[in-house]
Chain A
Amino acid sequence: MSEMKNIKNLKEFSTSADRFEGANLLCPGCAHSIIVREVLNATNDDLVLSASTGCLEVCTAVYPYTSWDASWIHIGFENSSTAVAGAETMYKALKKKGRLKQPERNPKFVSFAGDGASYDIGFQWISGCMERGHNMMHVVLDNEVYANTGGQRSSSTPIGSSATTSPAGRVSYGEKRNKKDMMSIMAAHGIPYAAQVAPNKWKDMVKKIQHGLSVEGPVFINAVSPCTTEWKFDPKDTMHITDLATDSLVFPLYEIIDGTELNITYRPKNVVPVEEYLAAQGRFKHLFKDEYKYLIKEWQERVDAKWAYLQRREESRV
């Protein structure tokens, strides 16, 4: 196995590798690029990468340019996971046959996809990859919306959010359903590792990515990815919004090992009220009308209940 990369501080970390160039067409303040850099910078291993159709793909591989200084493939919207699974299978085959050009290399296989491409249309492909045990990592850039096509709802869009296909209006508060619990579903495949990460907690991210790349078998990573355009906040506030997401526990950071053992990896010293998280984003603005205030209360209750559940799971070690 390859050596784990030793990372001391954020400055060194952020400049330690350049396999994802700064030059790309993502919006200023887009968290996608931060997350991708953090994932790639967490390791010195050779990488075979894929991206599904979505903001990341259309902004980083526009012919004749590419932002990727590593093997990279895009096929379609739904199948970035299976593309990497296919490459990983070829690696196995060529290794067995003694036909690898660089047999001493020990590459890692990572697919990136949005929440639309993971929670919805690509769900089956990811499930297939997890079930078949490919040695790969699937990373969701979870911005809770189909950003690339202009902000339509996905099954990751949280209740009360105004998306273009579930807009808030005179008689509607926007999205009516709760966000799908992908972590539980993925963990239920019995995979060796699943984790939620956030770009502001970069040390936690590095640890999880390094652990994920070191285990044998499929790994699922769900990364919260604030989207300036669809969440409607100022580009300079990406990290502030991410702080609010993790510190309000709307986006708790935890991991699930072998489908069962759950560890909470970040406990905010001062838990921020959910209301603050919602208030910082334009997509929830309408919830602050009197008639919808009850939804904010319900939001808080849901987040508290989930946090209590995660703690129970962690304590009971089941």
Chain B
Amino acid sequence: MAFDKMELRDIEVWDGNFAAAQAMRQSQIDVVAAYPITPSTPIVEGYAQFLADGYIEGEFVMVESEHAAMSGCIGAAAAGGRVATATSSQGLALMSETLYQASGMRLPIVLNLVNRALASPLNVNGDHSDMYMVRDSGWIQFDAFCPQEAYDLNLIAFRVAEDHDVRLPAIVNQDGFMTSHTAQGVHTLTDDVAYGFVGEFKPMNDMLDFEHPVTHGVQTEEDWHFEHKARQHNDLMTKVMPKIKEVFADFEKLTGRKYSPVEKYDMDDADVCVVCLGTSVETAREVAKEMRTQGIKAGVIGLRVIRPFPFFEIAEALKNVKAIAALDRSSPNGAAGMLFNEIAGSLYNTQNRALLSGYIYGLGGRDLTKAHLVSLFKELQANVDAGKVTTQLQQFIGVRGPKLAYL
């Protein structure tokens, strides 16, 4: 059975979920095993419709749970072909055991993670608690700030993950509802160009090569476990970032759309800046522009790649700033936020001792408004003027009732 190509306009109005589904279709995935959950469900629904309409030749299996979805993806990937799935929140939590197994077996699966809060309390809206929960699972993690990027990063993710030097699975994050359900103009590639970029899947140690039987998923214990994990960690830290930059550069040549592990906005002469992820990056850029008219030299850093963490790129981008706000959309539950810690770590061995404060915002889908960011930038400027952090180190933005702060 052959499959049909789809005619697309140069710019289509797609939400982030549909953009991801289209990129999955164009990548001609061999096996998708999936399970529905809000807000990622439309990805698999879109994919199923493409299949029903004859646009897909690969296999699509609706399994009985997210754990099984990733289990099936692992078996399929080990058999030697292109594999992807999608999930959110509780689905990711149920899947989490298998995430470590996929990365430990060095299987290049792509997972669309539409970010959503983790229960309890139950909440279908977006925050980054799911993304943070699996940040140490050995997966590469990209972050899309809008539907266009959800589309582009899916194509890029296959290229990076499937590279034979990398062979690690990759997550493409996007904000639940804010990106996944918000339609915007998306510049498209034709099916041929998109597939030409992603390229044909090249198997390695595949179980369907019967001339060369392989054993996947061995037992190691103390004898070899450390070596396996150290190698995996080393490869993530040394091989992945150069490969990502190379693929980003190829993508720019093809489309003119330029990506960087650390997306800098007005950082050349910034005194103060916020570092954040997801949809809040665009809001922060708008506000930073306004702050400049008020004499505050504001900049924004959006993290395009969370794992491996771009330590050196972050340190470089922050080398001249005087005050930094790390914005985390997840409760660190008894610690400083993930970004606060990672940024502090990135700067520690540099000369720059910028003032660093941590802000927790937007849990469970709560809005981050321009007004919040205006007062935040002003707070950073006050810190610069005072030469010290003038408020609590860790604050919660927009919580009702008595103001909460720790540290």
Contacts and interface: CB of A to CB of B under 8 A. Distances in A.
Q: A and B: partners?
A: yes
B219 A62 contact: yes
Interface stretch (A4-12, A67-75, A231-239, A267-275): A67-75
Contacts of B73: 86
Interface residues on A, range: 35 or more
A23 interface: no
Interface in B97-132: 97-98, 101, 105
Contacts of A50: 75
A128 B98 contact: no
B75 to A, nearest CB: 3
Contacts of A92: 59
B252 interface: no
A292 to B, nearest CB: 39
B30, B57, B72: residue with the most chain A Cβ atoms closer than 10 Å? B72
A88 B217 CA distance: 18
Contacts of A63: 218-220, 223-224, 228
A58, A84, A93: residue with the most chain B Cβ atoms closer than 10 Å? A93
A41 interface: no
B65 interface: yes
Contacts of A86: 31, 33, 61, 71-79
Interface in B9-57: 30-31, 33, 57
Interface stretch (A97-105, A182-190, A295-303): A97-105
Contact of A132 (B63, B71, B210): B63
Interface string A208-230: 00000000000000000000000
Interface string A166-190: 0000000000000000000000000
B57 A97 contact: yes
Contact of B71 (A58, A75, A102, A131): A75
Interface string B63-85: 11101100111111111110100
B209 interface: yes
B216 A107 contact: no
A73, A76, A85, A128: residue with the most chain B Cβ atoms closer than 10 Å? A73
B193 interface: no
B192 to A, nearest CB: 16
A61 B219 contact: yes
Given A75-B74, A76-B97, A89-B31, A46 B210 contact: yes
13 contacts: A46-B210, A72-B216, A73-B105, A73-B217, A76-B71, A82-B63, A82-B71, A83-B75, A86-B33, A87-B79, A96-B57, A99-B81, A107-B208
Given A63-B224, A75-B71, A83-B75, 6 more contacts: A66-B218, A71-B214, A86-B79, A87-B75, A90-B83, A102-B211
